[in-house]
Each structure stands twice: as C-alpha cells, then as structure tokens.
Amino acid sequence: MIPIYAVDIANENNVCFDGTSVKNFKNTESGVKVWVDKLKPNSIVALEPTGGYSELVATAAYKAGHTVFMIQPAWIKSHRSSLGRRAKTDPTDARLIYDYVESKKDKLFAWKPMDEDLANLKRLVRQRQGLAQDRSRMRQRLKALQVHPTLIATVLDGVETVIKELEVQIKAALKTFPESKFLLSIKGIGPISAAYLLTVLKHIEFKNVDSFIAWIGIDPVPSDSGNRKAPRRISKRGDKHLRSALFVGAMAAIRSATWSARYERFIAKGLKPHQALVAIAKKLATVAYHLFKKQVVFDPDMVALPKAA
C-alpha cells in the first residue's frame, strides 16, 4: 500500500495527516526539508494549490521522488458536503484531503514543477487576474459609496495602467510558445484565455478531452431524483479561473460568424443565454484541446453547422 501524506498548507505551520496521526511542520525551506526527509520512499503527497506556499512543499516532495497531487479546493469542498461535515479546521482539512486522495488516487493527475517560461506566464496571468478582481471590487465599493465617476476613474487609473502593462507582458510571453498560435487562431480566444489554456495543457498530460473538460469543471452532471429529470448543470469542480476565461471567450466568440449560428441553435433548443454561453465555452475548450494535441490552426469548418437542404 502506497503511503499517503495529506497536507493542509498555512502561512507558517503546515498540518499533515498520514492516515493515523496529525503532525505539524514549519512552512520554511528548512522545515519542509526536515519533513520530506522523514517520508517513506515513493509516497503520495497531496495538498491544495495555494500559490508559493504550496509549491514549496510540492517541489521538495517531487524532487525527493514522491508522487504529488494538487487537489483543487472545490473538490475538497464538494467532498466535505457529500460527507455531511461542517467543521473546517486545518486538521480536518488534512483528513479530508487524505480521504479524497485515498479513494480517487487512480483518477488523479500527478503534479510536476513547471519550466521557467511556463511558470513566468502563469505568474503574469495570476497577477493580472488578481488585479482585475481588485479593480472590480474597488469599483463596486466606490459606486456603493456614491463616489463621483470621475474620481473613481482617477482612483483606478493606476490599477488600469498595471493591468495593461501585464497584458503586454503576457502577449510577449506567449510568443515563446509555438503552441500559442494554434490556440489564438480560435475565434473568441484572446491572449489571456490562450495563456490560461497553455499553462494547463502544457503542464498536465490529460488522458483525453473528457478529462480536460472535467478538470475545468465545465462537464455536465445529472441532478435527477426518482421520476424527476432535472436539467443538467456543469460540475464547477475544476479550475475556476480557466472556466471564467473560457466563459469570457464565449461571449466574444458569439459575436463572430463562426460561433453565432451555434449559439442561436442552443437558444432555439430552449437553453437560456447563460446556458448557451456555457455550451459554447465547453466547445471552445474542446477545440483548444484538439488543436493543441494535433498542432494545427483553427478551421471554422470544424464547428460549422450543416446547411439546411
């Protein structure tokens, strides 16, 4: 049986559950090294992604020859709900991660460190994403305080400047990856969406397109009970940032002749506008996966609807 070490990451002290006991260790290079050196050979180390804090542990474990699983927080949240548990502490989270990995380890994707260029692209995208979220929250807060629009624009001007500079850097970084041209050829996929897609597709070896769609959390899941057949909803259990980028891409895509007819067909079938956009976002992800794998540019005929006789 492969030993499993589930870690709940914190700023200072990490909490580890190994199936029998809970132990703490410092989230410093020396503290992580001491902890990793005590692990049994060829173990599984599982943790949630929390930026630099988690990558310190993950990288040390990977270099020591262990299998590392990065478990999305949404997966653990869903697992907690399925077990009917409400308590949320560092030890209980570590136990939940352990329980989740123990039951699903054969279906998980092993983590590995990104190469320098890809890590830089991911860092730029995350910085832009964080600033864009801050900008939105700040604008809403200032509007709620009835601040004059001119003053709001002045306050946010610095943030806007940094966001634009990051977008320039992202476009430049994309040029170092030949695969980016295949993704950018898709109507609706711009530099930001392409960067999100690239950091996932180049970093994780998905078994097939369905596993990629599930990773994003844009896979439809049933919610039936007895004779009641409820409309399917997407799982939302994957990468929320990539899912959001694809949704934004879908909104841009339906303004093009390439995707507008498919969007209208979804609406004609009874889907609400939001549901139709999600369906387009899923199609964008599917096309992106295949273009990346085949290393070819987008052909609009791939998604064109058959003409009526």
Q: Of 206, 18, 207, 219, which is closest to residue 99 (Cα–Cα)?
A: 18
Task: Choose the final residue of a domain: 132, 148, 176.
Answer: 176
pLDDT value at residue 224:
43
Domains: count for the chain: 3
Looking at the structure, do residues 97 and 136 belong to the same domain, yes or no?
no
Looking at the structure, do residues 118 and 198 belong to the same domain, yes or no?
no
Task: Choose the final residue of a domain: 150, 176, 202.
Answer: 176
pTM: 0.80
pLDDT value at residue 231:
54
DSSP assignments along the chain, one per residue? ---EEEEE--SSEEEEE-SS-EEEEESSHHHHHHHHHTSPTT-EEEE---THHHHHHHHHHHHTT-EEEE--HHHHHHHHHHTT-----HHHHHHHHHHHHHHHGGGSPPB-PPPHHHHHHHHHHHHHHHHHHHHHHHHHHHHHTT--HHHHHHHHHHHHHHHHHHHHHHHHHHTT-TTHHHHHTSTT--HHHHHHHHHHHTT---SSHHHHHHHHT--EE---BTTB-PPPEE---S-HHHHHHHHHHHHHHTTSHHHHHHHHHHHHTT--HHHHHHHHHHHHHHHHHHHHHHT----GGGTPPPPP-
Looking at the structure, do residues 298 and 225 belong to the same domain, yes or no?
yes
Looking at the structure, do residues 262 and 160 belong to the same domain, yes or no?
no
Looking at the structure, do residues 191 and 88 belong to the same domain, yes or no?
no
Looking at the structure, do residues 158 and 254 belong to the same domain, yes or no?
no
CB neighbours (10 Å) of residue 79?
Answer: 18
Mean pLDDT in residue range 105-118: 89
Looking at the structure, do residues 164 and 184 belong to the same domain, yes or no?
no
Looking at the structure, do residues 241 and 300 belong to the same domain, yes or no?
yes
For the chain, the average pLDDT equals: 89
Q: Of 208, 206, 219, which is closest to residue 246 (Cα–Cα)?
A: 219
**Beta-strand relationship, 67-70 and 44-47:** parallel
CB neighbours of 237 closer than 8 A, spacing ≥ 6? 72, 74, 75, 78, 214, 217
CB neighbours of 13 closer than 8 A, spacing ≥ 6? 24, 25, 26, 27
Q: What is the pLDDT of residues 213-262, one digit of tens each?
A: 988 888 776 544 445 454 556 666 777 889 999 999 999 999 999 999 99
Buried b (16+ CB within 10 A) or exposed e, 133-167: eeeeeebeebeeeeeeeeebeeebeeeeeebeebb
Q: Which residue has the tokens 């956009």?
A: 277
CB neighbours of 216 closer than 8 A, spacing ≥ 6? 238, 239, 242, 243, 246, 285
Looking at the structure, do residues 251 and 297 belong to the same domain, yes or no?
yes
Looking at the structure, do residues 77 and 194 belong to the same domain, yes or no?
no
Looking at the structure, do residues 183 and 282 belong to the same domain, yes or no?
yes
pLDDT value at residue 221:
62
CB neighbours (10 Å) of residue 12?
Answer: 10
pLDDT value at residue 86:
64
Q: What residue numbers bound the domain in which 304 lies? A: 178-309
Looking at the structure, do residues 103 and 118 belong to the same domain, yes or no?
no
Task: Choose the final residue of a domain: 156, 176, 196.
Answer: 176
Whether 298 has a pLDDT exceeding 60, the answer reads yes
- Here the CATH number for the domain that contains residue 13 is 3.30.420.40
- The answer to whether 111 and 59 have CB atoms below 8 angstroms apart is no
Q: What is the pLDDT of residues 199-215, one digit of tens each?
A: 999 988 888 999 899 88
> Residue 123 burial (CB < 10 Å; 0-12/13-18/19+)?
middle
Q: What is the pLDDT of residues 121-152, one digit of tens each?
A: 999 999 999 999 999 999 999 999 999 999 99
